[in-house]
Structure 1
Amino acid sequence: AVNEKKAAMLYDFLDNSEMFSNPVNKEDRSLMNVTFVTGNEELDAKFVAEAKAAGFVNLKGHRSVGGMRASIYNAMPVEGVEALVEFMKKFEAENK
């Protein structure tokens, strides 16, 4: 139930974001690895760099796919996902 809550929190943000999107069909979405993109490679790189500086590491997506990937395995607490979503909201507001 906790993993579903974490994934739902992140997907809800992505589905309503004007900047970020999730390229995976809803029925195929992972509970553990949430991929997302801005649609702009430079902005993706800026997000990864600023996220890393803010303590969110390993968000860069697979080299062949690009974008970002948040791995929200069992060890990641709900608070960690909440903090990531807050950071993403802030980044979106500052980079409109």
Structure 2
Amino acid sequence: FPNVNIYYTVNGTKPDPFHHLGERKTLMYKRPFRLPEGRITLKAIAVTKDKRRESNIVNKIFIVDFVPGDPLYESEEENQRSGRKSNQSIR
């Protein structure tokens, strides 16, 4: 969707695209990312690039189990800071 940005949280809070990214754990989707182990509530919202319209919030719950031999966990926040891509992904 070229005319929208997708913002999300993985801590169950409402995504807030109007605050600085990273504050209140709102992140902008750029590429597949890894979820931490446990029960994760992902919430996402699409916002037009001019920020005049937004979608309803989508809620999804994921149960993530540890997989032996899996590389060290890298959060999406760490990936955005370092520019690295994670190995386990969600699409």
TM range (shorter): under 0.3
Normalised by the length of structure 2, the TM-score is: 0.27
- TM-score normalized with structure 1 length: 0.27
| The structure with more helix, counted as a fraction of residues | 1
Q: Answer with 1 or 2: which has the greater Rg.
A: 2
